[in-house]
Structure 1
């Protein structure tokens, strides 16, 4: 008999700022809502190991969605008439719109890289709508990452973005997992990775948000791989110092994509972070 993974995928639509978004989401488990945010230029396939981890899904109802323009989510109508550019404002609105459209009551947000950055703003803006946030490879400011070569007519964008991000994996992570992440990145739409990096490197500056985060109302956990040279452990440690009560750990022998490149190595840190952000939650 064929053994199916316990992941259910569905599409839903919602309206935001006069546009209609058709979103793909995968889910598994039951309990506290856990909403996962993928990295720049990728999609929710990065969370497949987490979605099939019974120790997580027996306590958490896990959701992982593809942002518009990413993976299996469509861009809004008329996308061909403009250049894709993610901004802090639009990113906050989309994530907030998704958890409200899904009817998630006080979810935990887990985001990596640009997703790890935006959860800091969301924790500052919506502390009473959230249980907590987990920032993987989370920085408050990451200038210098943007390049016009990330979307150039003379360059194969899929291979460039995939190979560029491949170098952010730890050399200790299993080769098949690093290559799987490469494959996901190679399938990004033209200009999507560059449009995300516009947010992450040009538009994003969350340093003033950190003082507004109240960990008595919204718990914060921060995890960064010791081999991440895009968001270094020191960058995340600076965030932790600015957010009293934040839980911070450096993940040994791990790079920029912990949930994808080395889930077994990431898992103990993840379980600790989940315990931290839900320790005061009564269900």
Structure 2
């Protein structure tokens, strides 16, 4: 039988850091805004199960967008004249400007992987913009992901990057979901995963600055799967310990991509947090 999902997709034009960008986003539901940020080299399709979950969307307006250069958001004009390297300043400005353009009233911001680290920088810069920040697979600093090998002309980056990242998932996560994560990663543009990990592993380093994050004005939750070997549970716990008032910790039976690799399990960790902010 044919049926229509309640998810609606649109495009927004924004000027970010002096560059005109056409950004794709999709949304579903009503209520407290929940702004969802995708992982490095991927796009907002990772949130399709969350967007289609009536238990969530009855109380939350779930919004997910593709960063410029990702998914259905094309690169800017004359993109071929520059090397793509995502910086903390441009990344934070993109999320802030997008939220402001939609007129979101202090949304909950949730991100995974590189976006799981970005939420810390967003709160550090201005905790008044956000109702709550939820970081998945993030920490003050994550080393080791920025690599040049995916640019080599004799490597099929679409397959090798997808397979490299797939090792971060838990062995017991549903096979169909893990294959979906792999598929999305296989469709990234040349050099985009590498450029994103420049932010994740090089440009952002909040070690020693965690005290600048004010959880009294914006609660911070950090959650990491026990099978994640990029950003480990130890990395995340060290960040939690360094941020006064931060909460979270280990997620059992799951890896680096909790929202998409095993949504039903991840939901058991997410719902208690969201329950504090419904309405």
Partner of 1:18: 18
Partner of 1:177: 177
Cα offset, 1:17, TM superposition: 2.3
Could you say what secondary structure the match of 2:63 adopts? strand
Post-superposition Cα deviations, 1:65-87, rounded to whole Å, max 9, x if no partner, equal 00000000011111110111101
Post-superposition Cα deviations, 1:73-120, rounded to whole Å, max 9, x if no partner, equal 011111110111101111111111111111111011000010000000
Partner of 2:144: 144
Structure 2 stretches of 5 or more lacking a match?
none
Q: 1:209 to 1:64 in 2, by over 3 A?
A: farther
Cα offset, 1:201, TM superposition: 1.1
Cα offset, 1:188, TM superposition: 0.2
Within a 5 Å distance, the mapping from 1:1-283 to structure 2 comes to 2-276=2-276, 278=277
C-alpha distance in structure 1 between counterparts of 2:156 and 2:26, whole Å: 29
C-alpha distance in structure 2 between counterparts of 1:33 and 1:209, whole Å: 28
Cα offset, 1:207, TM superposition: 2.0
After superposing on structure 2, the runs of 4+ consecutive aligned residues of structure 1 that deviate more than 6 Å are: none
Could you say what secondary structure the match of 1:189 adopts? coil
Cα offset, 1:209, TM superposition: 3.7
RMSD, matched Cα:
1.2
Cα offset, 1:145, TM superposition: 1.8
Alpha carbons 1:247, 1:273 under 8 Å: kept: no
Cα offset, 1:63, TM superposition: 0.4
Size of the aligned set, in residue pairs, is 279
Alpha carbons 2:85, 2:196 under 8 Å: kept: yes
Deviating more after overlay: 253-262 vs 236-245? 236-245
C-alpha distance in structure 2 between counterparts of 1:209 and 1:261, whole Å: 32
Cα offset, 1:43, TM superposition: 0.2
Post-superposition Cα deviations, 1:196-220, rounded to whole Å, max 9, x if no partner, equal 0111112110224421111111011
